[in-house]
Amino acid sequence: MNKITLMILTATILLAAPAYSAEPTGLEIMQQVDARDDGDDLIQKMKQRLVDRRGDVREREMISFRKDYGKDSKSITYFLAPSNIRDTALLTWDYDGIAKDDDQWLYLPALKKVRRISSSDRGDYFMGTDFTFEDIKQTPELEDYNWMLIGSEMLDGQAMWVVEGKPKSDELKKNLGYSNTRYYVRKDINMYVRVDFWDRKGQELKHLVSGEIKQINGIWTAMSGTMSNVQSGHRTELTFSEHSYNTGLSDNTFSERMLKRGYRGK
């Protein structure tokens, strides 16, 4: 994303807003969330724990590389464990907006082939987790929702904006699988720490709750997050570690060649 433009825009809004009202609007808060600095590139280790309603756990470990290209981004993720999917790798080219579908390729070491993954609906689940393709984006597509600030709240000793986002049309509701979402945004760092989701029928569906939030390389980072589906009893716990921001990853990192080569450690 073009950060400078956006920062100017945000600044303008921030400066202009008090002239009309004491509080920002829901949309403004979400724009600030979207504009938050999350580094130009990032390397991190990630651990996934998929826990089903019976408490059975499936664990995966991976390392992922991400780099921003304006408002688009590219990422590559190598699976480290379990052993039967080791060296499997996922390359994603993530395009801003909904005009163009994201591109995804998966390298399967057992087949020694790269396979393209067909584009998914935004409401489709991702990698057997409780996250949909929409959820794994840093922020939802702001223009698809009607945002409304519904209040302020204290959560874990932090002041929060509570912003509700409802998909604008029935078509979008169907597509996203949500009729309503509610974001709890920390006022001090413009970061959401909790999201509640309601399904198309208006019933409570999922909660995303972030764990510890730390500043790493000057960037606010959630060290873990849990998405729980209250209807199915399934949940996905993510823990992140070994973050390095802005290491200047080269464009080559996000190529098919690297996908096949696999992760060779540091």
Partner 1 sequence: MKKIFNWVLTHPKSIVLLLLLITGLAASQMRHIYIETDMDAMLPKHSDAYINKQVLEERFGSTDMVIIGIINNAKDGVYNTHSLELVQELTDWLAEQPQFRTLALNDLLSLATIKDIRGSDAGLDVEKFMDGVPETQAQIDHLKQRMHDFGVYEDVIVSADGSGTIFAARPMPDSRHQYAEIYGLVKAKVAELEARGGSERFFISGRPVIEGVFGVYMPAEMKRMQPIVMSLLLVLLFLSFRTPRGVLLPIAVVLMAEIWTLGTMAALGAPIYTITTMLPILILAIGIADAVHFLSRERLLAHHQAYSHRKERMVEVMHELWKPMLMTTVTTGAGFLSMLASELPPIRDFGMFAAVGIIYALLITMLLLPAALILLPEKAKHAERKPLFSGYVEWLGGAVLNHPKRIMAFFTALLVVSIVGVMKLDVNASLVDQFKPDDPLRQADKMLNQHFSGTTSLDVMIDTGRENGLLEPQFLQHLIDLQDEIEKDSMVGDSSSIAEFLQTMNQALHADDPAWNRVPESSDMAAQYLLLYSFSGAPDDFETFMTGDYRQAHVRINMKTDETKVVAALLERMQAKTDLWFPEDKGYKVEWAGTGFTVYRLSEMIIDGQLASLATSILAIFLLCWWMFKRLLIAAIAMIPVSLAVTVNYGMMGNFGIPLDIATALTGAMALGIGVDFAIHYLHRYHEESVAGNSYRDSVINTNRSVGHAILFNTFVVVGGFLVLLSAALYPQMKLGALIAATMVICYLATCYLFPVLLGLGKEKIKV
- List residues binding partner 1 (CB under 8 A): 50, 52, 54, 56-58, 79, 82-85, 88, 90, 104-106, 108-111, 113-118, 120, 124-130, 200-201, 203, 229, 231-232, 234, 236
We find the least distance from the C-beta atom of residue 52 to partner 1, in angstroms, to be 5
**Which is closer to partner 1, CB of 90 or CB of 208?**
90
**For partner 1, which is the closer residue by CB, 32 or 92?**
92
| Shortest Å, Cβ 100 to partner 1 | 17
* CA 166 from centre of chain: 18
The nearer residue to partner 1, 58 or 214, going by C-beta atoms, is 58
Cβ pair 217, 243 in contact under 8 A: yes
Q: Residue 68 Cβ, how far from partner 1 at the closest point, in Å? A: 22
Tokens encoding 256: 């098919």
Q: Which amino acid is at 146?
A: N
Q: What is the DSSP letter of 125?
A: B
Q: Is the Cβ–Cβ distance between 111 and 89 less than 8 Å?
A: no
Q: Name which of 88 and 181 has its Cβ closer to partner 1.
A: 88
- Tokens 């920062």 correspond to 7
128-142 per-residue burial string, b: 16 or more CB within 10 A, e: under 16: ebbbbbbbebeebbe
Q: Judge contact between 227 and 208, C-beta under 8 A.
A: yes
Picking from 188, 195, 103, 106, the residue whose alpha carbon sits closest to that of residue 145 is: 195
Nearer to partner 1, 21 or 84 (CB): 84
What's the min distance (Å) between Cβ of 226 and partner 1?
A: 14
Q: How far is the CB of 27 from partner 1 (least distance, A)?
A: 29
